[in-house]
Amino acid sequence: MNDLVEPAKVGIVYETESPVLYETDNQIAWITLNRPDFNNAQNGQMTYALDDAFQKATKDDAVRCIVLAGNGKHFSAGHDIGTPGRDVLKHFDNRLMVPPHINKPAAELLYTREQEQYLGMCRRWRDIPKPTIAMVQGACVAGGLMLAWVCDLIVASEDAFFQDPVNRMGIPGVEYFAHAFELPPRVAMEFLLLGERMSAERAEQFGMVNRIVARDQLRQETAKMAAKLVAQPRLGNWLTKQAVHHVEELRGKRAAMDAQYHMHHFAHAQNDLVAGNSIAGLDATKMAAANKADAGEN
């Protein structure tokens, strides 16, 4: 039985060959999302470059702390849903025990891709045995949240804001469903149902952000925190991460994420059935315009 399909042919135009930058300084690896012209929208090219960078930092004994940053005005506007470099239908060398997605029919294609590129990758990155800090400025939206949340600590600039507006697409949150672990349930409910922006200040009140600093001090203050982590015992850092993760697991984080992943994909499939498009025909421009209008911006 041949239940595979012919992969679709799509044109992809990458604006850069370096969607992620990597540098080390004083035993800190600085990993920087580098699609500033597209607010660091995450395409597959970036995801795999990010995985390469995390692998490199993990395997290099000279690196004792990792900072994840975003180049430009915003940390990340989320998954790429509309740049010329959108590459949902491109095959990459999968890093997890997941088959190729591009030759799978109907809902199986996206289900397979997002297990590999979103949920699976994020879980792997969360488990990196070295301390990680997300350094967040500007927008940290939808898929951007996933990248910040997999880090152990979050340092945000005063102008940073957080948002998951995908309920507008009929989808119950992005693929890495940490919302109700990052925020108290009723606040997570509001965050998801209304899909509004949450300021860094409000996020800090709930413990979603560790520290807020002035924009022009962001790198300096993050570097200071990273230097402290570098000075802590390597094994202590790793064990501490696992101890906190274990508490999250006892609270059911993995099971909650697995359950939501399937709701997320039921929603993608419903969108496809109703509108012929897994994200309800909403592209980046329409989503950004709606987000700005909702936030009272022009």
Residues that bind Zn ion (CB under 5 A): 114
Please say which residue, 51 or 114, places its beta carbon nearer to Zn ion. 114
Please say which residue, 157 or 271, places its beta carbon nearer to Zn ion. 271
**Least distance from Zn ion to the Cβ atom of residue 178, Å:** 15
**Least distance from Zn ion to the Cβ atom of residue 268, Å:** 6
Burial class (CB in 10 A: 0-12, 13-18, 19+), 90: middle
CB 177 within 8 A of CB 149: no
**Least distance from Zn ion to the Cβ atom of residue 264, Å:** 6
Please say which residue, 114 or 116, places its beta carbon nearer to Zn ion. 114
Please say which residue, 87 or 114, places its beta carbon nearer to Zn ion. 114
**Least distance from Zn ion to the Cβ atom of residue 164, Å:** 12
Interhelix angle for 253-275 vs 234-250, to 10°?
70
Classify strands 198-199 and 20-25 as parallel, antiparallel or unpaired. unpaired
Measuring CA to CA, how many Å separate 129 from each of 11, 27, 61, 109, 164? 38, 15, 11, 31, 28
| Number of Cβ atoms within 10 Å of the Cβ of 14 | 15
**Least distance from Zn ion to the Cβ atom of residue 67, Å:** 27
Please say which residue, 30 or 48, places its beta carbon nearer to Zn ion. 48
CB 175 within 8 A of CB 114: yes
Ranges assigned E (strand) in the chain: 20-25, 28-33, 65-70, 132-136, 139-141, 153-157, 161-163, 198-199, 211-213
